[in-house]
Amino acid sequence: MSTIFSDLPVTIFEVMSQLARDHDAINLGQGFPEAAGPEDIRRKAADAVLHGYNQYPSMMGLPELRAAISAHYAHWHGVAFDPMTEVMVTSGATEALAGAILGLIGEGDEVVVFQPFYDAYVPLIRRAGGIPRFVRLEPPHWRLTEEALRAAFTPKTKFVIFNNPLNPAAVVYPREDLELLARFCQEFDAAAICDEVWEHVVFDGRAHIPLIAIPGMRERTVKIGSAGKIFALTGWKVGFVCAAPDLLRVLAKAHQFLAFTTAPNLQVAVAYGLSKPDAFFDEMRRDLQRSRDRLTDGLKSIGFPVLESQGTYFLNIDLAPLKLNEVDEDFCKRIVVEHKVASIPVSPFYEDNPVRSVVRLCFAKSDATIDTALERLSRVL
Ligand code: PMP
Ligand code: GLN
């Protein structure tokens, strides 16, 4: 038996986390925070379990959560979504992505994909019969260019999949790049599936701008978010999709046969969390920015070239100037065994002509964990 899925390798996140377990290493690979997560939100979920939120909730999501998502985006991004016709709750952003790709992309549709890409996109696009057309983004700035978009868009382009802030590059796209992409989507009459799970994790006073807010994109964009990232509760797998009613109706058809619904107690807790005051989100960003700076400064002081991290839980180091004679995957596999620090090589986020010198590290960890990892990494060079 051979299918697109049977022939895939195990995802790099699981490969590196398993190596971290095998070698009792500090795991700065897969992106999950070390902290337990906000206690009041966790308590809400526990209380909801004890007080009866245990049966199937409605397929589209609890009305209180859909209302909270709509209010949250109106407040943070100035985009109004009708909670009844334009908002759906999913079991993680992963389910939302799968629903959008399987639900919307048809046989022979061309899909513009930016690489480095989150690893779920391409197998799902191929399973849906779509044909990925890659746009290569390069360190250190990872910006979109007119020439690269012109080479990728064709009259057959039906969709673009766009991740902003971009994992693993840790770049937050400015309005200029979004307007460029929006211009191409409109010229080629393409829709956009926008993975914005990192929307709240942006640093140095940056603001996340959703593609759906760019003129001309409101009716042709599917906006995907994740409570896992917003609240540092990555195991919860509560995602959400916002889109114009005609698009959302199709996604709902896919959702009914993928997960159908999502744990109701977690939905109650996420609705509570989304309604928190701005200070909560600002503090989360401040804490993560402090951890980013601690890891950045420590890595620089021991001689690693660090690329700027504008958002996400990640920063990247560029091995090229170190002339180690070792590609990213070999470097990551060596340091987890020899130095007991797990990281993620960036080349698996490319399908063709990968960038092989960049390694991703997660800084959503305690100061003590970051310091121990730095101490171990100081022996690498
Ligand atoms: N997209 C991107 C870019 C991600 O980084 C992640 C998870 N880290 C996801 C989607 C999946 O989100 P979830 O855990 O909500 O399924
Ligand atoms: N999104 C997380 C990361 O980029 C983990 C994803 C996963 O484990 N599938 O590390």
How much distance in Å is there from the Cα of 292 to the middle of ligand 2?
18
Q: Which residue's CA lies nearest to atom 1 of ligand 2?
A: 31
Alpha helices in 112-209 (DSSP H): 121-127, 146-152, 175-187
Interhelix angle for 245-258 vs 92-104, to 10°? 110
- Report residue 343 as tokens: 């990281």
121 phi and psi angles, rounded to 5 deg: -65, -55
The structural domains of the chain, ordered by start, are 12-37+279-377 (3.90.1150.10), 39-277 (3.40.640.10)
In terms of residues, how long is the chain? 381
Ligand with an atom nearest the CA of residue 362: 2
Q: 116-131 burial string, b = 16+ CB within 10 Å, else e?
A: bbbbbbbbbbbebebe
Residue 197 near ligand 1, beta carbon < 6 Å: yes
Q: Closest ligand 2 atom, CA of 17?
A: 8
3-state secondary structure of 166: strand
The pLDDT of residue 324? 93
Q: How many CA atoms lie within 13 A of 311 on its CB side?
A: 23
Which residue type, as a one-letter code, is found at position 234?
Answer: T
Backbone angles phi, psi at 362, to 5 degrees: -95, 125
What separation in Å is there between the alpha carbon of 312 and the centre of ligand 2?
11
Q: What is the pLDDT along the chain (381 residues), one digit of tens a residue?
A: 788 899 898 999 999 999 999 999 999 999 999 999 999 999 999 999 999 999 999 999 999 999 999 999 999 999 999 999 999 999 999 999 999 999 999 999 999 999 999 999 999 999 999 999 999 999 999 999 999 999 999 999 999 999 999 999 999 999 999 999 999 999 999 999 999 999 999 999 999 999 999 999 999 999 999 999 999 999 999 999 999 999 999 999 999 999 999 999 999 999 999 999 999 999 999 999 999 999 999 999 999 999 999 999 999 999 999 999 999 999 999 999 999 999 999 999 999 899 999 999 999 999 999 999 999 999 999
Counting ligand 2 atoms within 8 A of each CB, the residue from 30, 34, 230, 349 with the most, and so the one to mutate, is: 30
Cα–Cα distance between 248 and 242 in angstroms, integer? 7
Q: Find out whether 213 and 79 touch, Cβ atoms under 8 Å.
A: yes
How far, in Å, is the centroid of ligand 2 from the Cα of 206?
Answer: 23
pLDDT score of 1: 79
Q: Give the per-residue pLDDT at 227.
A: 98
What confidence score (pLDDT) does residue 7 get?
87
How many helices and strands (H and E) does the chain possess? 13, 13
CA geometry: angle 363, 365, 370, nearest 5 deg: 75
Structure confidence at residue 251 (pLDDT): 98
Angle in degrees, CA 216, 214, 315, rounded to 5 = 140
List of residues 6+ apart from 25 with CB closer than 8 A: 19, 336, 340, 341, 342
| Max Cα distance, the chain (Å) | 59
Residues 6+ apart with CB under 8 A from 321: 305
Ligand 2 shell residues, CB under 6 Å: 11, 13, 30-31, 167
Q: How many Å lie between the centroid of ligand 1 and the Cα of residue 93?
A: 6
By alpha-carbon position, which residue is closest to atom 2 of ligand 2? 31
Question: Is the CB of residue 167 below 6 angstroms from any atom belonging to ligand 1?
Answer: yes
How remote is the CA of residue 303 from the centroid of ligand 1, in Å? 31
Counting ligand 1 atoms within 8 A of each CB, the residue from 13, 94, 121, 346 with the most, and so the one to mutate, is 94
- C-alpha 48/C-alpha 39 separation (Å) is 14
Buried b (16+ CB within 10 A) or exposed e, 51-66: eebeeebeebbbeebb
User: In angstroms, rounded to a whole number, what is the distance separating the alpha carbons of residues 381 and 378?
Assistant: 7
Indicate the top mutation candidate among 13, 196, 332, 360 to test ligand 2's pocket, ranked by most ligand atoms within 8 A of CB: 13
pLDDT value, residue 58: 96
Compute, in angstroms, the gap from residue 313 CA to the centroid of ligand 1: 12
ipTM here: 0.97
The H or E element containing residue 379 is none
| 3-class state of residue 276 by DSSP | coil
